[in-house]
Chains A and B, each alone.
Chain A
Amino acid sequence: MFEERGILPCPPDGASRIGVYVCHCGSNIAAVVDVRAVARYAAKLPGVVVARDYKYLCSDPGQDLLAQDIREHNLNRIVVASCSPHLHEHTFRHAIAAAGLNPYLLQMINIREQVSWVHEDRRRATEKACDLVRAAVRRVRRHKPLENLRVPIHPDVLVVGGGIAGIHAALTLAGAGKRVYLVERQPSIGGHMAMFDKTFPTLDCAACILTPKMSAVKAHPNITLWTLSEVTRVEGYVGNYRVEVTRWPRYIREDLCAGCLECIEACVYKDAKFPDEFNLGLGKRKPIYLPFPQAVPQVPVIDPSTCIQFKTGRCKKTCVQACGERRAIDLEASEKVERIQVGSIIVATGFQAFDPARMPDYGYGLYPNVYTSLEIERLVNSSGPTAGELLLRDGRRPSSVGIIHCVGSRDRKQNRWCSRVCCMYSLKLAHLIRERTGAEVFNFYIDMRTPGKGFEEFYQQLLEEGVHFIRGRVAEVTDWALDPSEEGKLVLRVEDTLLGTVRRIPVDMVVLAVGLEPHRDAEEVRRMFNISCSKEGFFLERHPKLAPVSTFTDGVFLAGCCQGPKDIPDTVAQAGAAAAEALALIDTGYVEQEPNTAYVVEEHCSGCRTCISMCPYSAISMAAQDGQWHAQVNPVLCKGCGTCVATCPSGSIRQNLFEDEEIFEETEGVMAYV
């Protein structure tokens, strides 16, 4: 049947000159599989000219061995039995290409993850490895030389999220002369870092180190900053992404506003009345407001849900009068869609803080003096609602404060992971609280995790400052007073696991060190950028060690806490790495795509169009030849998923690297029909 279609003749015996290489992978494979026996077995298979085992085939000498054999024995097909092709297919293709052989005349089989790591019985594992080698030898005879596809890279970059990660990535790229679009959902960039007072362990002021970078973003000619904006559509592929950004109205025109803020002063609301989002509701704002003093852009925003004009249409519009001739206020503004083209994307969408109302035992929302750590950041911040004074809700100054670690972290019922930053920021807050109020501070911890530069030293410093550390997970926060000394206090009930006793610690203020978790819409973001999530919902890097900022989608990179909890230094380092990866991509100028694409055997295609509706990437269209319609696949768009190949009713779509003959040979080979 296949001969009839005239495709892929099997080279006659003798024409195939196959080299088989079995890797020990140190002891990873050799400990379970008798690699020598596998090589001896392979040597006897038809078409095999050379068969060897080698300690580390991926090493330089290992690769040289391949090249040398290709030249000396005139090999024209290579089989490598080693680890997963995910890891080293690239390496070996490269090696044989360097020796002058077409890189696709290689077949790699995985005898590590699929054999040695999952089996214990040496004899049977060795047999399985032999079966796989036999299948690969049969398959590789059918391989045909293929050429990589080259796709040019658009040099512009989209950065999603304007926290410290997005800011740092954008500035790095812009500094290298690339055009950057920075998209932020909030009215100002700055993210969580803009809310912090000091940063651990050096206690430098977060605003002092962040705001110059924020201003630099605004001032940089290469950066287009869109705040109050969201990416609403992403299409295309590496080097050629078409992106749609929806910009929600600010009602104040950034190009006309001078940032004088007189409109806010002039608002018909004389006093700030509405809970202020930036201060987590601890302060108040007007319907027209600047999120925080150092906001970038330095342009107010109108919240239509609280503005009288939007609610009733009958406001005196004193803000518009105050703006006067500038006419920066545009109450008629509506959302706007921007369409851009970029070559790569950096996703830096950050995290959300765990909501402790999910753990009613800690009384958040029930007792007014239970706060989250983020709220305390605002309270101790001099630009915060209390101008930096740490006060309870009734205006008193706390004389004792309990900080509960791991709220929502390391907890089977909530989030299982360690949020990595809470121990350190709890130490920082303990220091600040003591410094500002002189209060007794108790830290309730499970384990102190201080693995960072200067972190352990900071912990020691806190111990010397007289902050109390109680090892134990707090059972509950209650206002139930057992004796008069507890009256009017919040009582933390905890098993002190060092003393081996249950304690009751009465305090004025409780701080919940809430963990970090994925944004509630992380799933939608993930889908939009076609990237993966780990099971907890953080975006998944391509490799946890060796490709920590890449994703499984080429040209999409990760930075910051959207990939997992991390502190500011790590976030900035990762953002720099993501920018460097994007730069490397841009400066290469093109990407090479593996030619695993589908193609149509035109003379067999009846033009039924079934494949067109099935293709998830819209890569198939119709073309006419001699008045005859047939399907054609655009190899640049084709991802090699194989859906059309399986769908075609007449079997006239085929796929490179997955030809029927290749798969049949492999299947028959593994079933021992030698």
Chain B
Amino acid sequence: MPAGRYLYFPGCSLRATGVAYEESLRALFERLQLRLEELADWNCCGATSYMAIDEGAAFLLSARNLSLARQQDERCDLVAPCSACYLVLRKTQDYAVRYPEIRRRLDQSLASASLTPLDSVKVRHPLEVIYNDVGLEEVRSRVVNRWRGGRLACYYGCQVVRPYEEVDRPHNPRRMDELLEAVGVPTVEFALKTKCCGGSLTGTIPEVGLRLNYILLKEAARKGAEAIVTLCPLCQFNLDAYQDQIGRQSGEPLDMPVLYFTQVLGWALGAPPEKLGLERSISGRDLIRRWFSVRSPREAYV
């Protein structure tokens, strides 16, 4: 593998609700001298409703992306920052290995579109890329900005830690905690770090979805965290965007920043704050402004 070069699969979220994730990811990778090369002609990863309605279609969508990655540069790993993309890409590979029938069908479909059959592309999540390929020591040695903010609760969500254990261990994952601590950001023990954020329930059954987010936000605060750090665009959106509504429902006003780990790491390693998408946050804007010295926040994207 060429050192420091990765194929990049943004997925839909990083071009919509998760723009801040893409911006901060790029800024952070730049600081770490890692290159992200966007996968050309990528399509939907196959997560979302596909997986629930037609697994075969979901696998095929993923398989096309995996096949394209192999064609574009067979020496590079494929980085998928969104947890849902990461999981469905990994699951497709896994099922193709376990069930020859699935593999045969996928290869057949790929061939009909003149694509190469499935081959082993390593699917990576940026958390684990930084943890394994860069390493805690290297990250620690590159710190530029000293953290002046409060303690943070690292929240991993459900999809990157199970069932596959390559990003972190399924019970009590700690790599995000370790990376933040390496750059001088204090974290709290957060027992709910892999519990459900509600996923799409915030839209479909709001009383359930919002309650799950309320539990996460409240427990983080109880543990002394002033903000939550995530690695998934859906988790970030659910926790960030509904705080008004949750506050009204529970009678406890909430205003807690919900950040991407790439924003915090990027800032500590000296990426310019305006390139980290910080102004895109909805909740906890005062704290964000204070912590990250964002001088003139744009009032857009509310």
Contact = CB atoms under 8 A, between A and B. Distances in A.
A481 B191 contact: no
A294 to B, nearest CB: 40
Contacts of A479: 191
Contact of B171 (A361, A480, A481, A482): A361
Interface in A316-360: 359-360
A142 to B, nearest CB: 50
A480 B191 contact: yes
Nearest to A363: B191
A361 B193 CA distance: 12
Nearest to A487: B222
B172 A480 contact: no
Interface in A438-480: 478-480
B215 interface: yes
B178 interface: no
Interface string A477-506: 011111000000000000000000000000
Nearest to A477: B191
Indicate the size class of the contact surface on chain A.
Answer: under 10
A360 B192 contact: no
B281 to A, nearest CB: 25
B189 interface: yes
A506 to B, nearest CB: 14
Nearest to B219: A480
Interface residues of B, number: 9
A360 B171 contact: yes
B219 A366 contact: no
A504 to B, nearest CB: 12
Nearest to A481: B222
A478 to B, nearest CB: 4
Contacts of B219: 480
Contacts of A361: 171-172
Most B CB contacts (10 A, CB to CB) among A359, A361, A366, A480 go to A480
Given A359-B171, A361-B171, A366 B192 contact: no
A366 B177 CA distance: 15
Contacts of B169: 360
Interface string B156-197: 000000000000010110000000000000000101100000
Contacts of B189: 366
A360 B171 CA distance: 6
Most A CB contacts (10 A, CB to CB) among B171, B172, B191, B222 go to B191
Interface in A592-646: none
B106 to A, nearest CB: 29
Nearest to B192: A480
A86 to B, nearest CB: 39
Contacts of A360: 169, 171-172
A366 B171 contact: no
Contacts of B192: 478, 480
A480 B189 CA distance: 11
Given A360-B171, A360-B172, A366-B172, A482 B191 contact: no
A257 to B, nearest CB: 47
A478 B171 contact: no
Contacts of B171: 359-361
Interface string A358-399: 011100001000000000000000000000000000000000
A481 B222 CA distance: 9
Given A480-B192, A480-B219, 15 more contacts: A359-B171, A360-B169, A360-B171, A360-B172, A361-B171, A361-B172, A366-B172, A366-B189, A478-B191, A478-B192, A479-B191, A480-B191, A480-B215, A481-B222, A482-B215
13 contacts: A359-B171, A360-B169, A360-B171, A360-B172, A361-B171, A361-B172, A366-B172, A366-B189, A478-B191, A479-B191, A480-B219, A481-B222, A482-B215
List 9 tightest A-B contacts by C-beta distance, closest first.
A360-B171, A360-B172, A478-B191, A480-B191, A480-B219, A361-B171, A480-B192, A479-B191, A366-B189
